[in-house]
Amino acid sequence: MLLFIALANSHYFLQSRSVLGGFPQDGSGLDRAVTWLIATFVDGRAFPMFGLLFGYGVARIAARQTAAGRSWRSTRLLLWRRSLFLVVLGFADAMLFYIGDILGAYGVLLFIGVWALRWKDRTILLVALFFCLLRWLPSADSMAISADAPDRSMLPPDLFTGFAERVVVHPFIALLGPIGFACPFLVGVWAGRRRILEQPQKHLALLRWTATVGVGAAVAGAQPASLMLARVISKPSTDTLALIGPLHDATGVLGGFGHAALIVLIARRLSAGPGPITLAVAAVGQRSLTCYLVQSVVWAVAFTPYLGGLADDLTVTTTALLATATWLTTVLMADWMRRTGPRGPMEVLIRRFTYRTSSASISAV
């Protein structure tokens, strides 16, 4: 899924006379095919899965704290420390590397969403449904159909301009982002209470149903936008666009659930005897925060005008190749860490800040 995140983020840096949904509209036939693949299987489908896993992880942290005899106040403060770390790290990433960073939004979501841990299951699911329905409302602001080219906050001409632009933009991303992540986060909290992802043998019917319906709905719901972005069909009227964008986004949430369920089902089959490739990919997941930030650094170096300045030179296809190469590099890096012992540096820092543990305690864990 971190490969999907790389593919989803990188094409938004590209510049062209005509841009739609972050895709230049003057590319080759191969570019159009890659555009269709990314818009169908990646854009708006990877982030909801991470929202689900984030909520799931929060529920499991809270459950472990309760089992250890910690009070609700102690657990809440622990999660708020984690929230603060994400907000600060997200701000630093946005200012220095990638303005589209979502860590700050996750931090804000956790700060508010911690109270959901006290809700009953019915309340959690009803609130999740409310935020899901919000995504179905007609809107012309969907990233899937946006005609906005990258601005100076993404491609600043100099370091000072970058700071000046980003310090204004980032708060909007951090404060409004939780609205889009709330549904998968809450469903993740609900699933975490039942340990659905950890104990798939008890929930096979649910996982299979979710994988089939979720991925199927995501693929079908993406087609109006995907075919338009790939220039297979013409750009429709503004009123129709206001329906296509939310359809793409809302079915993407279902796709996030479907991807999570599908990966669990695949992992269940691989768990008996994982090979070197499986172990390497798993190592990335165990160091996902570090690997995610490596992507931000690559985007800054590759696309910033006063550094690599490739926003005018790369195409959708070559950018996808850059994203894939970046992900493969993190796989090799994470696997080296797995074989030699160290955790990811960001994982060490967030654990130390959250649990107030020493380096020796982290190594022991």
Task: Spell out the per-residue pLDDT of the chain, length 365, in tens.
Answer: 899 999 999 999 999 888 888 899 998 999 999 999 999 999 998 889 999 999 999 999 999 999 999 999 999 999 999 999 999 999 999 999 999 999 999 999 999 999 999 999 999 999 999 999 988 888 767 777 787 888 899 999 999 999 999 999 999 999 999 999 999 999 999 999 999 999 999 999 999 999 999 999 999 999 999 999 999 999 888 888 889 999 999 999 999 999 999 999 998 888 777 889 999 999 999 999 999 999 999 999 999 999 999 999 999 999 999 999 999 999 999 999 999 988 899 999 999 999 886 443 433 33
Virtual torsion, Cα 176, 181, 187, 193, nearest 10 deg: -90
The string over 258-278, giving b where at least 16 C-beta atoms fall within 10 Å of a residue's C-beta and e elsewhere, is: bbbbbbbeebeeeeeeeeeee
Q: Check the CA dihedral 206-181-287-218 and report its sign.
A: positive
pLDDT at 362: 38
Question: Which residues face 19 on adjacent strands?
Answer: 24
pTM for this entry: 0.91
pLDDT at 283: 94
Q: Is 101 helix (H, G, I), strand (E, B) or coil?
A: coil
pLDDT at 343: 87
pLDDT at 140: 67
Question: Which residues face 33 on adjacent strands?
Answer: none
Burial of 79 (0-12, 13-18, 19+ CB in 10 A): buried
* Sequence-ordered list of residues with C-beta below 8 angstroms from that of 12, at least 6 positions apart, any chain: 22, 100, 150, 154
